[in-house]
Structure 1
């Protein structure tokens, strides 16, 4: 099973893909999202978004994000960031 992940900024859709897991820098602490995660909304702090493409423990791809919020629902994870590098 794969998690559908989207990263969006006010300017553009940065990513839309199937991944294994994403670790989000929430304002209350980092949290990991896998397929089937319970519905959740969280504000996010400036930090690194870590994207794991497979379950094999490979190194994560890191994207620096600033502000915004994350939503997990039955369709997957959407991160709406003020900025992504």
Structure 2
């Protein structure tokens, strides 16, 4: 299966840039999962945990994000967070 290109960015730096299997994003209207080939989409995000799955069946790597936006386009998923921890 194809991989999803994922970038996590804050105003200070590029936190992560990887090809992953799936990312579950904490949208303001609910969590949503993004896989390779996802339709174009944009959402604000809430303060919560973002889950990154590097491969199918892998355990999630969790990063706490605070506010921001998520954009899915033909290049992949970009999360622009106000802060991460």
Q: TM-score, normalised on structure 1?
A: 0.98
Structure 1 outlier segments of 4+, above 6 Å:
none
| Inter-partner Cα distance in structure 2 for 1:61 and 1:67 | 19
Aligned residues: 84
Q: TM-score, normalised on structure 2?
A: 0.98
Structure 1 unaligned residues grouped into runs of 5+: none
Tell me how large the CA RMSD over aligned residues is: 0.4
| Inter-partner Cα distance in structure 2 for 1:58 and 1:16 | 18
Residues 60-85 of structure 1 deviation map (CA, whole Å, 9 limit, x = unaligned): 00000000000000000000000011
Structure 2 unaligned residues grouped into runs of 5+: none
